[in-house]
Structure 1
């Protein structure tokens, strides 16, 4: 349970009462490698916190899966557009290894916001982090060379390189496996 409480480290102003209310409403689940936490075509009803392990988000396009993000221990993950809009998701979220997640449902979270407004502020900060990540990823993909994208991944998210397959990394970096192999061979 101590590791779950670590999710609040980035929100130091949360009261113990709010933390307790939140943690008493989360469900701990273990997923095996390849298991789907959320599936395209369904409404995403949970916000997840990676207690141990990792996950990736991807969608299917022309019979290929396209990786859009990686989530590591200590980070939150959900299909944000579906979670907020309550519309079916276009993405899948899968465990990249045997992983333990704490999850809370959308409805439970809204109820907690009513009782603890400070949790709503923490959620807003999660949304802000998500938005910043998306904007950086857009800039990353549009304005950086393939080599620079890989070097940035090595510098800022080295655990992804250890946990993800070459194909998943290539897909995330928007390059072919061959291009990624050439870049890795030159570094």
Structure 2
């Protein structure tokens, strides 16, 4: 749990009291590889921190799935739009490896916000991290070629390339696995 505190304190120091209040609500949950953390149509009720593992966000489909996000060790993970709006999620969240999460429920987080001095900063920090990852991917899809997206991904998140099946990487950068294979062949 100290890893969570370090991540949160990148933005602002918190008192031991505030940390203990926040930490008292965290629940450890372990998932096997391939577990659905959240199914399409369910409302996200947790903001989680990944102690260990890889999580993917995807749109289920009859013919194909579309992967649009990943989270790794040391990052926050949530279907954050559903978490904030309390509306059913339009996508699914799945583990790609054995995963350990530290989770806080929506209601418990509201209690932390109301009873601590730094609670709102903690929530804002987690939300900002999730937003920046999403925003960077969207901008890349709009302005970069498929090859540029792959090379950027390889440079910025090398753990993604090594640990995630190529079919999910291809979907993430918006191309077919065959097109990714051609790109990889061309740049090697």
Q: Does TM, scored on the shorter chain, surpass 0.5? A: yes
RMSD: 1.4
- C-alpha distance 61-142 of structure 1, shift in aligned 2 (>3 A): farther
Counterpart in the other structure of 2:154: 154
Write out the 4+ residue segments of structure 1 that deviate beyond 4 Å after TM superposition: none
- C-alpha distance 23-7 of structure 1, shift in aligned 2 (>3 A): farther
Report the TM-score, using the length of structure 1 for normalisation: 0.94
**Distance (Å, rounded) in 2 between the aligned partners of 1:161 and 1:62:** 26
Counterpart in the other structure of 1:114: 114
Structure 1, unpaired ranges of 5+: none
Report how far residue 62 of structure 1 moved: 4.4
Counterpart in the other structure of 2:19: 19
Provide Cα deviations, 1:19-73, integer angstroms capped at 9, x if missing partner. 1111111110110110011111011000110001111111123432111110000
**Distance (Å, rounded) in 1 between the aligned partners of 2:132 and 2:8:** 19
**Distance (Å, rounded) in 2 between the aligned partners of 1:179 and 1:57:** 21
Does the residue aligned with 1:133 lie in a helix, a strand or coil? helix
Provide Cα deviations, 1:76-95, integer angstroms capped at 9, x if missing partner. 01001100000000111111
Does the residue aligned with 1:141 lie in a helix, a strand or coil? helix
Counterpart in the other structure of 2:103: 103
Report the TM-score, using the length of structure 2 for normalisation: 0.93
Report how far residue 158 of structure 1 moved: 0.6
**Distance (Å, rounded) in 2 between the aligned partners of 1:27 and 1:9:** 20
**Distance (Å, rounded) in 1 between the aligned partners of 2:40 and 2:127:** 21
Does the residue aligned with 2:93 lie in a helix, a strand or coil? strand
In the TM superposition, 1:62-73 aligns within 5 A as 62-73=62-73
